[in-house]
Structure 1
Amino acid sequence: MPRNIQTQQEFLSDVYKMDYPRRGKAIVINNKQFRSHLQLPDRNGTDQDASALSCRFAELDFDVELKNDQTVQQMLTLMKQVAAEDHSDADCFACAILTHGEDGEILNPFKGNKCETLAGKPKLFFIQACRGTQFDDGADLNVADASGIQDVEMGPPTTIHKIPAEADFLVAYSVVPGFYSWRNSTNGSWFIQALQHHLEQHGRDMDLLRILTRVNKSVAYNFQSNTSHPNMSRKKQIPCITSMLTKEVYFTPKD
């Protein structure tokens, strides 16, 4: 399989190279209904999430594939199949998983030499799923000025050897570990609503991590649960962005 060979200039750049012939593949896994033995409720509202996110990915020049109601084994098999493909002419890879359940091993097929043609390229995962059963009660906010922290600039490396196997991943979770992730049965999940909105507004002109910071703000400030169950009402949520990216991600338009 062809390797992803980067020039010295590309390696030292602070922005990922995004002028390959293709943007790359975006997989949207939309799990709404589950096998009866799992005793999991239907995820009403997830079709709205899947449709909106598929549109946003397509607008950003991804080749979008939508997969519905996948088992854990089917998802793992799909990821292995995608990782085995030749991504030499692609900028990056993206995957959105809309499901019940907690953390899995979905990233492993793309790590290190398992997927050589995505080495050094962004591998972006967006996961809408509960990571526990706790509810976030929120906290009162007192606004105050905060002083900035001066950055320390490191000199560039002089020799290219290897990059870490875990490098160049971004995993955007809908919620922090241990907590419940909210979804509206009509409008979709809070996280995907905010994500698709900010990708539509700034997907072409803003670094992805800046976009996700705005997503965090939208979910934290603009959403609050409103149910007939007192122990589930007036609850909050904050997404959790885990970045191992080494450069900035800009979805520059394709010609």
Structure 2
Amino acid sequence: MGSGISQNQRNKFQPSQSFSSRNRGNTATQHGHVTDALPMDHSHGMQAMSNSSPEGTAPSSGPMPRMTWKEFESVAYCMNHEKRGMAIIINNKTFQPHLKLEVRSGTDADSMALLSTFQALGFDVKPYDNKTVQEMITILSDASNDSDYHRKSDCFICAILTHGDEQDVLYGTDGKVGFEKILSFFKGKNCPGLVGKPKLFFIQACRGNNTDKGVALDVVDARVDAPRQISIQKIPIEADILRAHSSVPGFAAWRHEKNGSWFIQALTEMLTKNWMTMDLLTILTCVNQKVAHQMTETEEKQVPMFTSTLTKVVFFTPKES
């Protein structure tokens, strides 16, 4: 099966429906759209994180990871391993009463879209529904420890669909956990089978309660040389990790109660259409554009955000059948 990608492409870096929102915990579902933002009081059920070991310090299991010099110098990640890799989907829809969090209606549409898309890309997909914080940690810890599998794989994907909060806090069904805790399982010596391979995280969750009203733009007469505002964000120092969030820090993420979220639906659509001809960062830029062009009836906007310490281009080269 042909890849549909030219050698030149591989050798260059390429970097209306009705809506409603929830305001500070007041559930409003007038038109079918909601956010994954939290009530004003969201101090319940915090998972203690002081017991975690320093990132990258766990003893490695198995032999030292290796790659050929050709793979090391390549502009694109090697996608010629026996397996594409593992893709974990954690889909949290309902939450324990003490958290006072609404049911995330529409999230099953996102989970099914991700399942279908990741399978089409050749991943071994493992979907999980409604997991507690400890269950999430166990699932991801066990996945990171499967070094024999990862050594035969091209890469790893984790998608988490849940309620979220500022400081990249994510919710299990019984409490919350920091996203950095999740990332720590796949960094450095904690996951030797994935050293030098892309580790991709897609997070559908609010990162605060703010909503974006957008900025007016005259598309016809806009100056191409107009000054741009640049926001510098911190990114992990560890290499080969990409984290794509449904919104920017501090802002809510929109989700339709039947059709799914703006971000996941755009992500799966762009991946399905373009994975044979575009690299991943270009696809994610297309996702940003598609989501940014959407707007609620009350003119609320949203833009996803991805940060990357990838050191090579990600092309999902089709596996030979």
Normalising by structure 1, we get a TM-score of 0.88
Query: Equivalents in 1 of 2:86, 2:145: separation in Å?
Result: 13
Match of residue 65 from structure 2: 4
More moved, 2-11 vs 54-63: 2-11
Kindly provide the CA deviation profile for residues 8-31 of structure 1, in whole angstroms up to 9, marking residues without a partner as x: 111111100000000000001111
Q: Paired residue for 2:296?
A: 225
Q: Deviations over 1:139-191 (max 9, x none)?
A: 012433249xxxxxxxxxxxxxxxx9710000000000000110000110000
Paired position in structure 1 for 2:223: 144
Q: What is the aligned partner in structure 1 of residue 162 from structure 2?
A: 99
User: Where in structure 2 are the equivalents of 1:47-62 lying within 5 Å?
Assistant: 47-62=108-123
Q: Secondary structure at the match of 1:197?
A: helix
Distance in 1 separating the partners of 2:79 and 2:63: 18
Alpha-carbon separation, structure 2, partners of 1:3 and 1:73? 30
Q: In structure 2, what is the equivalent of residue 187 of structure 1?
A: 259
Structure 1 residue 52, shift from structure 2 partner: 0.5
Aligned match for 1:238, one of 289, 303, 308: 303
Q: Which amino acid aligns with 2:307?
A: T
Aligned partners of 1:225 and 1:235 also within 8 Å: yes
Match of 1:158 in 2: none
2:160 alignment partner, SS class: strand
Question: 5+ residue gaps in structure 1?
Answer: 148-163, 227-232
C-alpha distance in 2, partners of 1:146/1:55?
41
Give aligned pairs, total. Answer: 232
The letter for the 1-side match of 2:223 is: A
Secondary structure of the structure 2 residue equivalent to 1:199: helix
Asked whether the 8 Å contact 2:237–2:309 carries over to 1, the reply is: no
Aligned CA distance change for structure 1 residues 69 and 141 (closer, same or farther; 3 Å): same
Query: How far apart are 1:3 and its partner, in Å?
Result: 3.5
How many Å separate the matches in 2 of 1:199 and 1:4? 29
Deviation at 1:73, TM superposition (A): 2.0
Question: Which one-letter code corresponds to 1:239 in the other structure?
Answer: P
Deviation at 1:234, TM superposition (A): 1.3
TM-score by length of 2: 0.70
**Distance in 2 between the 1:3 and 1:144 partners?**
53
- The CA RMSD over aligned residues, in Å, is 1.4
Match of 1:66 among 110, 127, 131: 127
Are the aligned partners of 2:208 and 2:252 in contact in 1 as well (CA < 8 Å)? yes
- Superposed displacement of residue 72, structure 1: 1.9
Contact 1:167 1:245 in 2 (8 A): yes
Specify the code of the residue in structure 2 equivalent to 1:144: R
For the residue of structure 2 that corresponds to 1:172, the secondary structure is strand
Report the counterpart of residue 188 of structure 2 in structure 1.
Answer: 112
Kindly indicate whether the alpha-carbon contact (under 8 Å) linking 1:60 and 1:204 is maintained by their aligned counterparts in 2: no
Change beyond 3 A, Cα 1:82–1:175: same
Could you tell me which of 81, 98, 105 is aligned with 1:44? 105
Is 1:124 matched with 2:185? no
Q: C-alpha distance in 2, partners of 1:165/1:21?
A: 29
Q: Secondary structure at the match of 2:185?
A: helix
User: Which residue pairs with 1:15 in the alignment?
Assistant: 76
- 1:13-70 deviations in whole A, cap 9, x for unaligned? 1100000000000001111011111110000000000000110000000000100001
Could you list the runs of 5+ residues in structure 2 that have no partner in the other structure?
1-61, 169-177, 227-235
Distance 2:252 2:237 in 1: 30
The Cα shift of 1:4 comes to 2.5
